[in-house]
Amino acid sequence: MEIKILGTRGEIEESAPYHSKHSGILINNKLLVDCGEQSFLDYDPHYILITHLHPDHAFFVRSGCFQMIDIPIYAPKKYKELLISTRKTPFTIDGYRITPIPTIHSLKVKSVTYIIQHKNKKNLYTRDMIWIEKKYHHLLKNFDLVITEASHMRTGGLIRRHKKSGKIYGHTGVPDLVRFFKKYACTIVFVHFGAWFYKDMQAARKKFEKLAVANDIEIIVGYDGLELIV
């Protein structure tokens, strides 16, 4: 699979080249996972899969404009009059087997991670998340690559609890994600960087290097335009 990382900036102000665009990953020039920038449509993807309807993952939530989207779009929830397919069970598009798995992230929007299989390759595309419920863990195995988020470097991330419902929301930390996903893949790619990353990008890269050594895995620090072949 040819994977092109189009954007690696989380929901923060733009401050650095190569990490300026919001979420978007193009697979084989065909599938676009998240569309945080309208300009990603210029790549002419055939299908769009949205992990969740936060504006840094779905540009139209911020701009309100979606009329220019004329290709099939999949997301965990509908948005206004936009024709969105909300699939909960595995489905196949154009030879790609897609399995959406619910993730815990936000109180207001539903979020999913996607397993995408094509020929003999299988990758996991997660974005903002705290956790994946145990009942779905049996689906997580033997990935060639896991692509996930790096909003917070500190262990535990930033997780809040809603007073009334007791439900949690936010993002877990990079070390937690490494510990969790290393069971299922030897290589983890990080995207969706939070403010911590931009303060000292060299120090940030060192932290990823340390984590890779400590956990005996390969960590790739994504940047806007990075191309990977898996």
Site map for Zn ion, 6-45, x if CB under 5 A? Answer: -----x----------------------------------
* Near Zn ion by CB under 5 A: residue from 19, 54, 182, 207: 54
Nearest residue to 101 via CA among 91, 117, 85, 88: 88
* Piece of 4-12, 76-84, 140-148, 193-201 that binds Zn ion (CB under 5 A): 4-12
* Near Zn ion by CB under 5 A: residue from 56, 197, 204, 207: 56
CB of 21 to Zn ion, least distance (A): 12
CB of 173 to Zn ion, least distance (A): 15
Helices (H), the chain: 59-63, 174-181, 195-199, 201-215
Q: How far apart are CA 207 and CA 215, in angstroms?
A: 12
Site residue total, Zn ion (CB under 5 A): 4
Of residues 116-155, those binding Zn ion (CB under 5 A)? 128
* Joined tokens for residue 1: 């699979």
Q: List contacts with Zn ion (CB under 5 A).
A: 11, 54, 56, 128
